[in-house]
Structure 1
């Protein structure tokens, strides 16, 4: 991970093994583990695999439920994966009303708006927002923040926190 820390465009396995002093096979095994954990991302560029540090937040179901803010997780195909208890209470909504539903079809207008934001599409692609501040949606009556995430099963997506602006 130190070898990847200061790279702008990422490194190949060969470059990582040279920088770290590790043999190529060991580097490849460690990179596979780091990709699975969501700490490193890999892109195929021509014949090479290029690795870079991930900007995604590792998110487990247990962590989601410990957040004090209302949080939902959204898979990379745009469907709601899970919602935490704080979200259910804040928005007076049951899990089964959202889980498995496309963000564009959920019964909360603020979430449907977020689904159209370029920031949301960038987060799905793994780009972190420039700032993690609360932003306004739905005419200012709702606040949100979002972040790219990697879930405990290795799949990618986004977490969104949504609360009423009171």
Structure 2
């Protein structure tokens, strides 16, 4: 069975801002329901950097008059939900690519070391350098596009209060 997506972080920020509440306002509402949350914790919850505790989930659902299932599993804003999903996938892909690029860099250093050894025949050196160049040239368009995407999505979104970026 596939895991159901968790929209609690997206929904929390959307509900809070749609209600015209500041983070401080929401913290007061939660405190009045017996749940103390620090401002930093609330920010991390909204950004999806921290999982919500059961008592926090229940209190938030009470504040916004929602069921737990609606809050966690149904996106308030489908577009934001989809973009957040894509961004999460890109970040996971970036982590995998970073690992693979690190391994590639290590292998290129080893190859460079072998190529610089005096006993490596010149013909072998030339063939290996040509093959490396072709491999790197082949990946250039993809690498450039990935770098563009990573640069674009690595920038932290700004909370402008206007709802647009």
* Greater Rg by CA: 2
The two structures share one fold, judged by TM-score above 0.5: no
Report which of the two has the higher share of strand: 1
Higher relative CO (Cα under 8 Å, sequence separation at least 6) belongs to 2
